[in-house]
């Protein structure tokens, strides 16, 4: 995942999708005495900076909190190796884990993570987070950033096509496609950029309907009869086949499409704001609306793409101090969430963050819109979905399925084939 929301307030460096840093070198000693807490995370400008800000407000000065920077890929590899061997030597006290990955760890290594139920009040956070950081009634993670989705759009381009802010509120994907047609016809601009190998938009559409590639148990493959995924593939295919998007082949292509002024919108996660604001000459020309929903059914104008949480490794020296650090910072401190909104552009999943001045203030770049407040409210409406253990393995199969739909093959047959392929992939 690319860099999780680097800044809603100031322009920041280019992110990595659902949060992946580029620094592959670890720093610091991962051993832990009882008065030392070690944290593993990626991205110096976002997650690492968040921990350093938390250290400033943590009152127990007898505890030394050390932050170790490494790439998300390295963290995943080291966790996999150590947890599979049952040896926690060299592991940190606290580790940041992406929402799409955590259920795999919790189900595969149920005794590896500390029970955080006593420091996390479920009512204090967006409820959808607890579909991924719990097993039964036990909470294992402190929710961190929100992957809440929004429809970023150019107000000037939409106005030229005959649309105003009210016309973008609580729309459907059918409405979005019609708006895209009007924008293309009247302004010449593509509505958005789209990488045909990226299923992010389909994920957004699925979660808005409370569905995923797997069922509520996180393991039963549900692709064949998944109406929201089917709708998502149809939306992607329509946008591509009708020439309503600027096709790109990688992340940088999408960034260029936005910052060059080529496209009129970007339906994606809140973390994308740093990329939007990277084009300083476009200040005042952007606004953010709720993400579109599917017409009919249970789909809502709220969804997520990305996000992560803080987890404590059980049995590593300093475990109780690690829990205390999280309890007094990321699990409860709304003022810290306000500071992080200003410093790194964090959209927190802590409900009380809405009460801070940072959330109730408008942002000039978005024409005075109270962006943090809007994202915080939408975050509370996101349907809870168990991402299961295999999101990325499943998508490695489904990229081909999207291409087949784009090429005009019968979508029901495509999904039947995908069901069989994914079941075989997971079985192996």
User: 36-146+306-355 belongs to which homologous superfamily?
Assistant: Periplasmic binding protein-like II (3.40.190.10)
Q: Check pLDDT > 80 for residue 12.
A: no
Q: Check pLDDT > 50 for residue 26.
A: no
The pLDDT tens digits for 272-324 are: 998 899 999 999 999 999 999 999 878 999 999 999 999 999 999 999 999 99
pLDDT value of position 427? 74
Q: Check pLDDT > 50 for residue 396.
A: yes
Q: Check pLDDT > 50 for residue 47.
A: yes
Q: Where are the domains of the chain?
A: 36-146+306-355, 148-304+384-427
- Which of 4-8, 72-76, 109-113, 377-381 shows the lowest per-residue confidence on average (mean pLDDT)? 4-8
Q: Check pLDDT > 50 for residue 121.
A: yes
How do strand 304-312 and strand 192-194 relate by DSSP bridges? unpaired
Q: How far apart are CA 130 and CA 124, in angstroms?
A: 11
Average pLDDT of the chain, as a whole number: 90
- Which of 22-31, 297-306, 395-404 shows the lowest per-residue confidence on average (mean pLDDT)? 22-31
Q: Residue 17's closest CA among 26, 9, 5, 30? A: 5
Q: Residue 3's closest CA among 67, 75, 72, 104? A: 72
pLDDT value of position 20? 35
Q: Check pLDDT > 90 for residue 365.
A: yes
How do strand 64-69 and strand 94-98 relate by DSSP bridges? unpaired
CATH class in words for 148-304+384-427: alpha beta
pLDDT value of position 41? 97
How do strand 304-312 and strand 141-154 relate by DSSP bridges? antiparallel
Q: Is the pTM of this model over 0.75?
A: yes
The pLDDT tens digits for 234-252 are: 999 999 999 999 999 999 9
The answer to whether 36-146+306-355 and 148-304+384-427 have equal CATH topology is yes
Q: Check pLDDT > 70 for residue 413.
A: yes
Q: Which residues contact 292 (CB under 8 A, 6 or more apart)?
A: 151, 171, 172, 173, 175, 176, 267, 301
Q: Is-contact 192 263, C-beta < 8 A?
A: yes
pLDDT value of position 395? 92
Mean pLDDT of 130-147: 95
Q: How far apart are CA 228 and CA 202, in angstroms?
A: 8
Provide the percentage of residues in the chain whose pLDDT is more than 90: 85
Q: Residue 364's closest CA among 275, 282, 262? A: 282
Q: Check pLDDT > 80 for residue 103.
A: yes
- Which of 12-21, 176-185, 297-306, 386-395 shows the lowest per-residue confidence on average (mean pLDDT)? 12-21
Q: How many residues does the chain have?
A: 428
pLDDT category, 34, cuts 50, 70, 90?
low
Q: Check pLDDT > 90 for residue 19.
A: no
Q: Check pLDDT > 60 for residue 15.
A: no
Tell me the three-class secondary structure of 325-389, residue by residue. Answer: HHHCCCCCCHHHHHHHHHHHCCCECEHHHHHCHHHHCCEHHHCCECHHHHHHHHHCCCCCCCCCC
Q: Check pLDDT > 50 for residue 75.
A: yes
Cα-based angle 266, 96, 62 (whole degrees, multiple of 5): 135
Q: Is-contact 173 295, C-beta < 8 A?
A: yes
Torsion angles phi and psi, residue 387, rounded to 5: -75, -10
Q: Check pLDDT > 80 for residue 168.
A: yes
pLDDT category, 375, cuts 50, 70, 90?
very high
Q: Check pLDDT > 70 for residue 217.
A: yes
pLDDT value of position 368? 97
pLDDT category, 11, cuts 50, 70, 90?
very low
pLDDT value of position 349? 96
Counting DSSP H helices and E strands in the chain, the numbers are 15, 11
């Amino acid at each position: 995942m690319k860099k999780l929301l680097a800044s809603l307030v100031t322009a920041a460096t280019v992110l990595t999708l659902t949060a992946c840093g580029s620094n592959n070198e670890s720093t610091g000693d991962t051993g832990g005495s009882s008065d030392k807490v070690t944290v593993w995370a990626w991205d110096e400008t976002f997650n690492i900076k968040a921990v350093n800000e938390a250290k400033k407000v943590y009152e127990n000065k007898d505890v030394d909190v050390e932050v170790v920077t490494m790439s998300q890929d390295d963290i995943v590899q080291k966790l996999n190796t150590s947890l599979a061997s049952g040896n926690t030597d060299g592991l940190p006290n606290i580790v940041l884990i992406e929402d799409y990955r955590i259920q795999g760890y919790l189900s595969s290594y149920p005794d590896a993570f500390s029970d955080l139920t006593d420091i996390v009040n479920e009512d204090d956070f967006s409820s959808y987070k607890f579909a991924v950081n719990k097993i039964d009634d036990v909470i294992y993670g402190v929710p961190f950033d929100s992957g809440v989705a929004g429809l970023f759009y150019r107000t000037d381009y939409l106005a030229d096509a005959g649309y105003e802010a009210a016309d973008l509120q609580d729309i459907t994907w059918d409405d979005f496609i019609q708006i895209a047609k009007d924008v293309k016809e009247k302004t010449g601009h593509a509505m958005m950029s789209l990488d045909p190998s990226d299923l992010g938009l389909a994920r957004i559409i699925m979660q808005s309907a409370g569905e995923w590639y797997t069922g509520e148990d996180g393991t039963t493959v549900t692709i064949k009869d998944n109406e929201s995924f089917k709708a998502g593939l149809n939306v992607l295919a329509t946008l591509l086949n009708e020439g309503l998007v600027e096709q790109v082949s990688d992340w940088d292509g999408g960034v260029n499409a936005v910052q060059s002024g080529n496209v009129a919108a970007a339906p994606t996660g809140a973390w994308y704001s740093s990329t939007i604001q990277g084009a300083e000459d476009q200040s005042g020309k952007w606004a953010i609306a709720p993400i579109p929903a599917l017409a009919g059914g249970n789909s809502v104008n709220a969804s997520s793409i990305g996000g992560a949480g803080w987890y404590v490794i059980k049995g590593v020296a300093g475990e109780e101090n690690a829990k205390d650090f999280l309890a007094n910072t990321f699990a409860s401190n709304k003022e810290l969430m306000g500071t992080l909104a200003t410093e790194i552009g964090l959209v927190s999943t802590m409900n009380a963050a809405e009460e801070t001045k940072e959330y109730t203030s408008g942002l000039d770049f978005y024409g005075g819109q109270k962006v943090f407040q809007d994202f915080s409210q939408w975050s509370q409406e996101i349907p809870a979905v168990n991402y299961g253990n295999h999101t990325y393995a499943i998508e490695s199969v489904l990229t081909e399925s999207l291409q087949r739909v784009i090429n005009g093959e019968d979508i029901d047959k495509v999904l039947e084939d995908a069901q069989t392929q994914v079941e075989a992939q997971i079985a192996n």
